[in-house]
Chain A
Amino acid sequence: QVQLVQSGAEVKKPGASVKVSCKASGYTFTSYEINWVRQATGQGLEWMGWMNPNSGNTGYAQKFQGRVTFTRNTSRSTAYMELSSLRSDDTAVYYCARDTQLNGMDVWGQGTTVTVSS
């Protein structure tokens, strides 16, 4: 079945970087964009940006420009989100989601908890 499986929970110190992976299966990885969305505890959903796995093109929400990088490995059907200069308010669950462009984000990863604490 179509699914996105993310890497496990991370604990990082302030100022460090984190890299979360998102492995796609059940569909052609390069046919759909991948979005990244995060959610702090008890808060709403916050869109971080998109990546086209075919071209490698990316777009980032202004809030994360300069701190976030989306990459992919097409041979492994895996997308990556790297966030640098971590702060305590980056503590959140990070989701990857398949973007159909016309029909919303129809498949989501299970989420990866990133905790930033000294």
Chain B
Amino acid sequence: DIQMTQSPSTLSTSVGDRVTITCRASQSISSWLAWYQQKPGKAPKLLIYKASSLESGVPSRFSGSGSGTEFTLSISSLQPDDFATYYCQQYNRYPWTFGQGTKVEIK
């Protein structure tokens, strides 16, 4: 199975900050990577697919980059609605696998 490792596990930050979350795959997944946002008690929401494509309706302050084994999710200027947990997920090869999550919390 392809292991996905996110860092950091927790990010304490403030409104207006730029945030970067890293996701590493244990082997190359090309660009078959998605990012999801999840708020407490809610289902995950797709933000980014194919490593850098923005899902329709997602604010442009979210962006993704990377290929192969190293990926990043960036939020250019954190808004109050962005405090949540973020997961990366590879869909290059079954079984699909998720990173362990990064919780973005208020400093």
In the assembled complex, the CB of B6 is this many whole angstroms from the nearest CB of chain A, namely: 9
> Which listed segment binds A: B12-20, B71-79, B91-99?
B91-99
Query: Which residues of A are found within 8 Å of B100, using beta-carbon distances?
Result: 44
- Checking A46, A49, A95, A105 against B46 with a beta-carbon cut-off of 8 angstroms, the contacting residue is A105
Q: Tell me whether A110 and B43 are in contact in the complex, defined as CB-CB below 8 angstroms, given that A44-B101, A104-B49, A105-B34 are known contacts.
A: yes
Q: Which residue of A lies closest to B6 (CB)?
A: A44
Contact across chains for A108 and B43 when beta carbons are under 8 A apart: yes
CA–CA, A54 and B38, complex, Å:
29
Contact across chains for A102 and B44 when beta carbons are under 8 A apart: no
Report the interface size class on chain B: 20 to 34
In the assembled complex, the CB of A21 is this many whole angstroms from the nearest CB of chain B, namely: 16
Query: Which residues of A are found within 8 Å of B94, using beta-carbon distances?
Result: 50, 59
Q: Tell me whether A47 and B95 are in contact in the complex, defined as CB-CB below 8 angstroms, given that A106-B55, A108-B45, A109-B43 are known contacts.
A: yes
| Candidate in A100, A105, A108 with the most chain B CB atoms within 10 angstroms | A105
Contact across chains for A103 and B50 when beta carbons are under 8 A apart: yes
CA–CA, A108 and B87, complex, Å:
15
Contact across chains for A104 and B91 when beta carbons are under 8 A apart: yes
Query: Which residues of A are found within 8 Å of B55, using beta-carbon distances?
Result: 103-104, 106
| Candidate in A45, A62, A108 with the most chain B CB atoms within 10 angstroms | A45
In the assembled complex, the CB of B30 is this many whole angstroms from the nearest CB of chain A, namely: 12
Query: Which residues of B are found within 8 Å of A99, using beta-carbon distances?
Result: 91
1/0 contact string of A28-51 vs chain B (CB within 8 Å)? 000000010100000011110110
A61 at the binding interface (Cβ < 8 Å) = yes
